Copies of this chain bind each other. A is one copy, B any other.
Amino acid sequence: MKKKLSIIDIANSLNISKTTVSFILNGRAREKRISEELVDRVLKYVKEVGYKPNSLAKSLRTGKSNIIGLLVQDISNNFFASIARQIEDRAYKNGYKIIYSSTDNDTQKTQEMIAMFRDRHVDGYIIVPPEGIEEDISALIKDGLPVVLFDRYLPNVKTDYVVVDNLFSTYNATRYLIDKGRKNIAFITFTNQQTQMLDRLEGYKKAVVESKLKTNIKEIDFYPEEKLIAEPILAFLNEHKETDAILFGNNYLGTCGLKVIRKLGIKVPDQLALISFDDTVVFELCNPPVTAISQPIDDIADQVITILLNRLNSSAQNDPKQHITLPTTLTIRESTN
């Protein structure tokens, strides 16, 4: 177990001071007018012995950790996993690491995670905020820490966010169902006050009301357990035999719903047309394939990390907050024929 080298070892071996080594390693040689010759000698030696500065000490000293904290609702959900994946890639390319966690939409867990992140001195936050987290996030912002939200935002918190045009997306999807001649369109969503779900609900309502049809909304309490989602859906389907189309508020609901529908042996699209928010490989491969509102995953990830990296590069620290709204695509498949 070879002892780890420190900057002082390097300095001693080269008979110079650690200050000089530090300057050279941090690219401030020019600025400090250190001779080319010395710079080369140090760089070469450092590489030769494989010296790596201790980033802990560096962080302690500079107050910067080069870590970004990422809080998504559920890292095992394909939508969040894909975004996390891309954010991670871009972050690493820019010298940042990611610490992530799933929040499960649980306020307390999220608070604990934010506390942990602060503790670790993370430089910036990317958060998919659960309800009731406004204060904690405001506190971060007040302390000058950059926070970018995505998927949803908090109306009372002034910070950057990236969302999709939820209202138009469901409006458009609902219109599509109406144009296909569906009369009893249900919307299945989660019981919460998150902006994305509210907007999706609004879009659905708007289209239904415009066409003088009746709304039929089923709100389900969120629990991270599939059975507790499937049961209410089952109950709803049994109660509302007249329903001839369903719009699911997200992929979790859509996938669960699909399982229930399959079990019930309901014919799609003859008896029931289906559209789900979020596209996944399941909707592509199931039978029949399900029409989906595809979110621009790459774009979302890209915008989020770009905004955050900008804030981190201090120059843009006080620019006005950015509110990005991206469009979705209705990917039409056989479930709405």
| Chain A residues within CB distance 8 Å of chain B | 1-2, 52, 54-57, 59-60, 65, 74-76, 78, 81-82, 84-85, 88, 92, 97-102, 115-116, 118-121, 142-144, 255, 258-259, 262, 281-282, 284-288
Q: Which of B56, B281, B288 contacts A120 (CB 8 A)?
A: B56
Chain B residue nearest to A83 in the complex (CB): B76
Q: Which of B1, B56, B81, B287 contacts A142 (CB 8 A)?
A: B1
Chain B residue nearest to A288 in the complex (CB): B287
Q: Which of B2, B57, B85 contacts A143 (CB 8 A)?
A: B2
Question: Quick check: A144 and B1 within 8 Å, CB to CB?
Answer: yes
Question: Quick check: B75 and A78 within 8 Å, CB to CB?
Answer: no
Question: Quick check: A76 and B81 within 8 Å, CB to CB?
Answer: yes
Question: Quick check: B120 and A55 within 8 Å, CB to CB?
Answer: yes
Shortest CB–CB separation between residue A158 and chain B, in angstroms? 16
Q: What CA separation (Å) do A235 and B120 show in the bound complex?
A: 51
Q: Which of B52, B76, B88, B287 contacts A287 (CB 8 A)?
A: B287
15 further contact pairs, Cβ within 8 A, besides A52-B115, A55-B119, A285-B287: A1-B143, A52-B119, A54-B119, A56-B65, A56-B120, A60-B60, A75-B88, A76-B82, A92-B101, A97-B99, A98-B101, A100-B100, A282-B282, A282-B286, A286-B286
Shortest CB–CB separation between residue A130 and chain B, in angstroms? 17
Q: What CA separation (Å) do A250 and B102 show in the bound complex?
A: 26
Q: What CA separation (Å) do A142 and B98 show in the bound complex?
A: 27
Shortest CB–CB separation between residue A108 and chain B, in angstroms? 13
Q: Which 10 A-B pairs have the closest CB atoms?
A: A287-B287, A76-B81, A285-B286, A76-B85, A56-B60, A1-B143, A55-B119, A76-B82, A81-B81, A282-B282
Residues of B within 8 A of A285 (CB): 255, 258-259, 262, 282, 285-287
Chain B residue nearest to A60 in the complex (CB): B56
Residues of B within 8 A of A92 (CB): 101
**What are some 21 contacts across the A-B interface (CB < 8 A)?**
A52-B115, A52-B119, A54-B121, A55-B119, A56-B120, A75-B85, A75-B88, A76-B78, A76-B82, A76-B84, A85-B102, A88-B101, A97-B99, A97-B120, A98-B99, A99-B99, A100-B100, A255-B281, A282-B285, A285-B286, A287-B288
Shortest CB–CB separation between residue A194 and chain B, in angstroms? 21
Question: Quick check: A121 and B259 within 8 Å, CB to CB?
Answer: no
